[in-house]
Amino acid sequence: MNHYSGLKNALIAFFLLLATLYALPNIFGSDLAVQVSAAGDSVITQTDLNKIKNVLNDRNIKYKSVELANRRILTRFNDNKQQLLANDILKQDLGRNYVVALNLAPSVPLWLSNIGGKAMSLGLDLRGGVHFLLEVDMQAVMSMSIDKSYNELRSLLRTDRLYKSIKKQDDNISVVFKNIELKNKAKDLIKSELVDLVVLESENSDELLLNIGISESAQKQAKENALKQNITTLRNRVNELGVAEPIIQQQGLERIVVQLPGVQDTARAKEILGAVATLEFRLVDEKNDPQTAIQSGKTPIGSKLYYFKDGRPLLLKARVIATGENITGAASGVDQENNIPMVNITLDSSGGRAMLDTTKKYLHHRMAVVFIENKVETIVENGKTVKKRSTTKDIINAATIQGTFSSRFQITGIDSAREARNLALLLRAGSLSAPIEIIEERTIGPSLGADNIAKGIMSVLSGFLLVLIFMALRYRVFGMVANVALTLNLVMIVAVLSLLQATLTLPGIAGIVLTVGMAVDANVLIFERVKEELGANTNIQKAISAGYDKALLTIADANITTLIAALVLFSFGTGPIKGFAITLSIGIVTSMFTAIIVSRAIINKIYGNRKLEEVSI
């Protein structure tokens, strides 16, 4: 009685050893580091690694190590002064094709890293940084949709001169016709050509009046596109800010959360997030050579000199065919005929007409897409804070016009599916986005983050030690067994958080503290039951077995109901509430394992299969 088989003991020991192994990375701390990654579609190579080493060695900057992994180069330093100096120098020397950012790199040993060992990911409240909650103006989204639909409808009906007058009224469009025949013809035309519009029932007695609105599905799609487009734009801005591990995610139907670890200058962050970008479609000047224009310092009349991000020059026509304001949609895909990557573009009616006229006239010529970004930087000059405005213009694609097209067309000549996806994102990001308002802003300093970590650890240890002392005094040997199980429970929680790479936040630490108290609750129930059985039964072995068996149902009920509550918190909560729910859920599952199975395995080793006169409980 009270004996586990050798296989069961081995499995328990294996799981505990595995948990200890994957909890280990958290004791090694982090190194100060500078992270270098490629901008756009560039790829970091060994050549870049050697270049960075040479730059640091030439400037006599002492570094701990330089490594290339996961498409980025990580340079580790022993002190903050060398890290900041290297960050400034690398930004100057590497240029715009690289993103250089300060970072904290876990100093996990290579052997542990090779088997998947990672330290827990810390939230903004523990690392420090800036938190923004942004709200998208959905009323403006609908207003822009009505404007676009109004222009498309007017262009459609104007072709056959179907309407007498047309005007916008709030969220609807009102059209007056000369007779019923023209009205019915317009209805059929709208149904076939403008599928996003619906004819609204009107109480007005005027039979020649037609009220038209945007369908519910089109409204929903417009709002979703606006939100996604803004998220894409914000990601592009954050990349320019050089943040190592930003968090940009949707919250609800109208809001976006932006968290920038390590950034303390909120003014600078807001300037970057609010930067304006657009696109231009221009024809390539096929008759003149860009190198000749560079050498002579003179560009041909009617042309302008532009550059790709990698520095390649190209002459483009001065006349703009269409801009980002004309783009209503962009999606990557694969050309079914040639099995090559492509990007599908959708323009509004005015952009479509301009594109149709151009492609008819310049078939088989090249057309370029230029990405234009306006930035505002706050700098100090002569002791005064001034705003410095700059504009960058990069060619992101130049492809041959393969056929005549207008509002919908494809861009091919793209090297990879990844590049096509990135191009589609850039095109969507370049078009006009819905207005965004910052409705919440928080700055958490690195010292406050470190203080949060210290206080969090202290709270866990304080609760942990108090529980250990109580259990040891109250239940003696059985209490010491419970303490071992509780220690192993903490190790398992840390291991699971590390394996899942779940972000640990301050509320998450609160969840761990709560778990510490709840974890021994199961052992208290078991040990009190054992005491009752000892009072009623002289057979100690049977009393121990009955204590564990009879308390199991009560323990399971209590933990399952708490787990349900935690899952509800995770499902409906946001941010800090989810962090609390995650650690609480993990703690409940691991405490069931340690309090029931691990503690009994230890008790079995101490008291199992032996004739006992008394037990220390």
Tell me, what's the pLDDT at 432?
42
CA–CA separation, 467 and 461 (whole Å):
10
Chain centre distance of CA 313: 34
Give all strands (DSSP E) within 500-568, no chain letters.
503-504
Query: Which of 404, 433, 462 marks a domain boundary?
Result: 433
Task: Answer whether 56's CB lies under 8 Å from 75's CB.
Answer: yes
CA–CA separation, 303 and 316 (whole Å):
5
Instruction: Tell me which residue of 588, 585, 569 sits closest to 577, measured CA to CA.
Output: 569
CATH of the domain at 293: 3.30.1360.200
H-only helix segments in 159-289: 180-193, 216-241, 266-273
For residue 162, tell me if it sits in a domain.
yes
- The verdict on 292 and 419 lying in the same domain is yes
For residue 120, tell me if it sits in a domain.
no
CATH of the domain at 92: 3.30.70.260
Chain centre distance of CA 206: 52
Element (DSSP H or E) covering residue 569: helix 540-572
Q: Classify residue 358 as left (phi > 0), alpha (psi -120 to 50) or beta.
A: alpha
For residue 366, tell me if it sits in a domain.
yes
- The verdict on 291 and 350 lying in the same domain is yes
Q: Could you read off the pLDDT of 545-583 as tens digits, one per residue?
A: 888 888 888 888 888 998 999 899 888 876 678 888 888
Give all strands (DSSP E) within 30-162, no chain letters.
30-38, 65-69, 72-77, 98-106, 121-122, 129-136
Q: Which two tokens stand for residue 524?
A: 């208290």
CA–CA separation, 21 and 108 (whole Å):
12
Residue 579 identity (one-letter amino acid): G
Q: Which positions ≥6 away from 380 have C-beta within 8 Å?
A: 386
Task: Answer whether 585's CB lies under 8 Å from 570's CB.
Answer: yes
Handedness of CA 178, 179, 181, 185 (dihedral sign): positive
Q: Given the DSSP bridges, would you call strands 129-136 and 255-261 parallel, antiparallel or unpaired?
A: antiparallel
For residue 153, tell me if it sits in a domain.
yes
**Which 8-state DSSP code applies to residue 5?**
-
Count CB-CB contacts under 10 A for residue 471: 22
For residue 422, tell me if it sits in a domain.
yes
Q: Which positions ≥6 away from 31 have C-beta within 8 Å?
A: 64, 76, 77, 104, 105, 106, 107
- The verdict on 424 and 479 lying in the same domain is no
- The verdict on 498 and 589 lying in the same domain is yes
Tell me, what's the pLDDT at 40?
53
For residue 393, tell me if it sits in a domain.
yes
- The verdict on 560 and 466 lying in the same domain is yes
The whole-model pTM stands at 0.59
- The verdict on 50 and 99 lying in the same domain is yes
Tell me, what's the pLDDT at 484?
92
Residues of the chain short of pLDDT 50, as ranges, are 376, 431-432
Q: Which positions ≥6 away from 589 have C-beta within 8 Å?
A: 563
- The verdict on 171 and 143 lying in the same domain is yes
Tell me, what's the pLDDT at 14?
94
Cα angle 410, 411, 416; round to 5: 120
Boundaries of domain holding 86: 29-107
The tally of domains found in the chain comes to 4
For residue 282, tell me if it sits in a domain.
yes
Tell me, what's the pLDDT at 590?
92
Task: Answer whether 146's CB lies under 8 Å from 154's CB.
Answer: no
- Alpha-carbon torsion, ordered 144, 146, 149, 153, to 10 deg: -140
- The verdict on 356 and 477 lying in the same domain is no
- The verdict on 401 and 472 lying in the same domain is no
Grouping H, G, I as helix, E, B as strand and the rest as coil, residue 452 is helix
- Alpha-carbon torsion, ordered 570, 575, 581, 582, to 10 deg: 100
- The verdict on 146 and 100 lying in the same domain is no
- The verdict on 185 and 62 lying in the same domain is no
CA atoms within 13 A on the CB side of 318: 6
- The verdict on 37 and 163 lying in the same domain is no
Query: Which of 220, 247, 267 marks a domain boundary?
Result: 220
DSSP string, 94-129: H-TTEEEEEEEEE---HHHHHTT--PPEE-HHHH-E
CA–CA separation, 199 and 546 (whole Å):
74
